[in-house]
RNA sequence: GGCGGUGUAGCUCAGUUGGUUAGAGCAGUGGAAUCAUAAUCCACGUGUCCGCGGUUCGAAUCCGUGCACCGCUACCA
């Protein structure tokens, strides 16, 4: 892939999947997958992209999951990281680096940010009271203390809230409190010293930042969640915990304490970039250049992808960390750290209208999905139905219908009929002869309009609409076939038919490239059938063979220089191809029934 | 309890600042075609825009209210 002259630097991060267990399709479509589609689009356009993700490894759930499996937490995390990295590969998630929040780099940077914040007066020591379980030998987060609700008598109320009567609770409100970890009732309240980040001091600055002009094109979901937090009043936030697993607090009197997972997790975006640089010293990767503003220049464009549960931490908490650390940073000879330029937030993907649930094993998980079907099936379906402006519902019926109709029947079948028909009459060689006529130019113009809209949608990260445009472009190929009827014209005009089939094969190459962000595996298969390599390809634009303005001018009010591609010249005459066979297998009614049954929906 | 979101065609969803006969895809019905994975293409929408009330020349859109579902409520992440 070539880097164009107008090349931009684009930093993309996906919300970090939590280490605890395999992620489900909702997690995938909410951050990692759309970020990947965007990264692939931008790379193919010739921009310099750095795409960062990592596992979020700290926190109580990781410790407890390790305990349950009889592993020490470090081993557990190492294993689970490998599992998630393997799944990311199988879904063709093209991270430049898939890091770990437990890395030394993150330890170093987390401690650094805390020091910067303290230097600027944003850190305060406070005494807190917390429940300690002697049997478990640990402090318990509020919701890991269970007992009888004083309001409704529910015997399994959690220490933060009773789920039966929805009343908010303190762990000390509970009658007969016990540990959710061991069931032990041997609990006591102990005092503990902790660090607080004085977020309340940032309220005005965060509000100003979130409401400035540049945020007007952010998803409404994102700004409204941020404003909700601001309107409720920013609380100072405890950023340390009495746990063994995490980034240690490097401060006298804080031995045995670690930073709160939500403090160190976003910093891992930066730390993972350093991991990426450190893993290949010979490449001289300048990780700071991705995270620093440089003089008047604001540095790279930075995009974050996440589901709505993550939005507060990326619109409020992490920006506080960055803003607080940046104060007076010039005096240390350092440049300021970058704030995010665009947050793409997603709603929930539901499973038959209900919640995907890891603990309840409800829904479809990445490992199960990828064992059933190749990644492109999932990638296309999920992005075409991404929960962008609203929650959206996964059902097996809908999934099967989409795969069968769009991928197998519209795209797969078009590619197959183009290859098969050419083979039948000319062999597996791109045929010579003929000249494009009215219908060819009509196809080119219509496709150009679709392509322009498709590009606009992808740039704007409107993935659902982008998928619609993509499918519409595939349909134009089928329409072209039905209009030209090469199976009929071959009997009267072999030259003209050669041109038609050559154009169809040109369309095939075109589809391989423009579909690449969504279905990279299929793109690769198509290009391979044509004897082409992705590394040599570019986004279909003016550098591709196109009609000169005189050819179509006067007929088209939407004429745009260099964008109306001449499909009869997209693949050169005489090039040999192979027939890849069906690109997509249809999902049968039997499979559908079996999967619905196995993944207990409804 | 508080806050927020959602409720649009059988299904999944779009509907920019209120502006003519409310949209797309799928499903369904009819037709054309037969190169292809029985795949394609064309045509076809009488929808109390959740209910009620209000503002307005005009409301799916704004306001009030009721109902239903969902989420968050800061120590799960």
Highest mean pLDDT among A64-68, A165-169, A421-425, A557-561: A421-425
Per DSSP, chain A holds a count of helices (H) and strands (E) of 21, 16
| Residues linked to residue A356 through DSSP beta bridges, in sequence order | none
Question: Would you state the pLDDT for residue A602?
Answer: 37
- The CB-based long-range contact list for A339-342 (8 Å cut-off, 24+ gap) reads A339/A209, A339/A302, A340/A302, A340/A303, A340/A304, A340/A314, A341/A214, A341/A298, A341/A301, A341/A302, A341/A303, A342/A217, A342/A218, A342/A301, A342/A302, A342/A303, A342/A304, A342/A461
Count how many residues are written for chain A: 602
Kindly report the backbone phi and psi dihedral angles of residue A328, in degrees, each rounded to the nearest multiple of 5, phi listed first: 70, 15
Identify which of A467, A477, A395 has the alpha carbon closest to the alpha carbon of residue A444: A477
CA of A21 to C1' of B69 (A): 29
Q: Answer whether any strand B atom is within 7 A of the Cβ of A40.
A: no
Chain B bases near protein Cβ (<7 Å) = 1, 3-7, 11-15, 24-27, 32-37, 39-42, 69-77
What is the distance between the alpha carbons of residues A54 and A435, in angstroms, rounded to a whole number? 52
Highest mean pLDDT among A173-182, A319-328, A349-358, A547-556: A319-328
Are A101 and A270 spatial neighbours (Cβ–Cβ below 8 Å)? no
Identify which of A565, A552, A556, A553 has the alpha carbon closest to the alpha carbon of residue A503: A565
Q: Answer whether any strand B atom is within 7 A of the Cβ of A543.
A: no
Are A24 and A366 spatial neighbours (Cβ–Cβ below 8 Å)? yes
- Per-residue pLDDT, averaged over A124-149, amounts to 87
| Residues linked to residue A552 through DSSP beta bridges, in sequence order | none
Supply the ipTM of this predicted assembly. Answer: 0.92
- The protein residue nearest B25 (Cα–C1') is A468
| Per-residue pLDDT tens digits for A469-518 | 999 999 999 999 999 999 999 999 999 999 999 999 999 999 999 999 99
Query: Which tokens in the block code for residue A407?
Result: 């991928």
Identify which of A259, A238, A237 has the alpha carbon closest to the alpha carbon of residue A247: A259
End-to-end Cα separation, chain A, in angstroms: 45
What is the distance between the alpha carbons of residues A345 and A219, in angstroms, rounded to a whole number? 7
Question: Would you state the pLDDT for residue A57?
Answer: 94
Across A249-362, the runs of DSSP E, i.e. the strands, are 258-259, 301-307, 342-346, 349-351
Q: Answer whether any strand B atom is within 7 A of the Cβ of A523.
A: no
| Per-residue pLDDT tens digits for A315-356 | 999 999 999 999 999 999 999 999 999 999 999 898 888 888
| Per-residue pLDDT tens digits for A77-136 | 999 999 999 999 999 999 999 999 999 999 999 999 999 999 999 999 999 888 898 888
- Per-residue pLDDT, averaged over A439-464, amounts to 92
């Amino acid at each position: 892939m070539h880097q164009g002259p107008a090349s931009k630097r684009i930093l993309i991060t996906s919300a970090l999947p939590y280490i605890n267990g395999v992620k489900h399709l909702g997690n995938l479509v909410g951050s990692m997958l759309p970020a990947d589609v965007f990264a692939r689009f931008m790379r193919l356009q010739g921009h310099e992209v750095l795409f960062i993700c990592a596992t979020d490894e700290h926190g109580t759930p990781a410790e407890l999951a390790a305990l349950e499996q009889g592993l020490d937490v470090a081993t557990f995390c190492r294993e689970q990281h490998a599992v998630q990295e393997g799944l990311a590969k199988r879904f063709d998630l093209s991270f430049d680096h898939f890091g770990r929040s437990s890395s030394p780099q993150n330890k170093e940077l987390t401690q650094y940010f805390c020091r910067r914040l303290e230097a600027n007066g944003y850190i305060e020591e406070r005494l807190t009271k917390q429940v300690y379980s002697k049997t478990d030998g640990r402090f318990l987060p509020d919701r890991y203390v269970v007992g009888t609700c004083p309001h409704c008598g529910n015997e399994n109320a959690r220490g933060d809230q009773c789920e039966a009567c929805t009343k908010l609770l303190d762990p000390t409100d509970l009658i007969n409190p016990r540990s959710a970890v061991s069931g032990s009732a041997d609990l006591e309240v102990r005092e503990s010293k902790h660090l607080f980040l004085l977020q309340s001091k940032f309220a005005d600055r965060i509000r100003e930042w979130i409401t400035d002009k540049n945020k007007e094109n952010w998803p409404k979901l994102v700004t409204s969640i941020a404003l909700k937090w601001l309107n409720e009043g920013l609380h100072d936030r405890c950023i340390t915990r009495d746990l063994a697993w995490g980034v240690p607090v490097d401060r006298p009197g804080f031995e045995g304490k670690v930073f709160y997972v939500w403090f160190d997790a976003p910093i891992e975006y930066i730390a993972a970039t350093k991991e990426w640089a450190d893993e290949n010293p010979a490449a001289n990767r300048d990780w700071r250049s991705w995270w620093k503003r440089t003089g008047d220049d604001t540095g790279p464009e930075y995009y974050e992808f996440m589901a709505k549960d993550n939005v507060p931490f990326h619109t409020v908490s992490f920006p506080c960390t960055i803003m607080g650390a940046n104060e007076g940073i010039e005096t240390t000879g350092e440049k300021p750290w970058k704030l995010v330029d665009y947050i793409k937030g997603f709603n929930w993907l539901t499973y038959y209208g209900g919640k995907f649930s890891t603990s309840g094993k409800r829904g479809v998980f990445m490992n199960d999905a990828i064992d059933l079907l190749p990644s492109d099936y999932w990638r296309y379906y999920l992005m075409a139905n991404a929960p962008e402006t609203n929650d959206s519902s996964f059902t097996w019926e809908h999934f099967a219908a989409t795969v069968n109709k769009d991928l197998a029947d519209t795209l797969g079948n078009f590619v197959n009929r183009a290859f098969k028909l050419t083979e039948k009459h000319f062999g597996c060689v791109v045929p010579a002869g003929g000249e494009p006529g009215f219908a060819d130019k009509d196809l080119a113009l219509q496709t150009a309009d679709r392509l322009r809209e498709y590009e606009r949608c992808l740039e704007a990260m409107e993935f659902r609409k982008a998928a619609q445009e993509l499918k519409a472009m595939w349909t134009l190929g089928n329409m072209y076939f039905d209009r030209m009827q090469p199976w009929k014209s071959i009997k009267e005009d072999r030259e003209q038919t050669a041109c038609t089939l050559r154009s169809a094969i040109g369309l095939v190459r075109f589809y391989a490239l423009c579909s690449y962000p969504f279905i990279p595996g299929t793109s690769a298969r198509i290009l391979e059938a044509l004897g082409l390599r992705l590394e040599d390809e570019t986004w279909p634009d003016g550098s591709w063979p196109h009609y000169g303005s005189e050819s179509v001018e006067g007929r088209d009010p939407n004429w745009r220089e260099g964008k109306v591609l001449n499909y009869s010249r997209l693949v050169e005459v005489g090039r040999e191809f192979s027939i890849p066979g069906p690109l997509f297998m249809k999902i049968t009614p039997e499979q559908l029934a079996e999967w619905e049954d196995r993944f207990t929906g409804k």
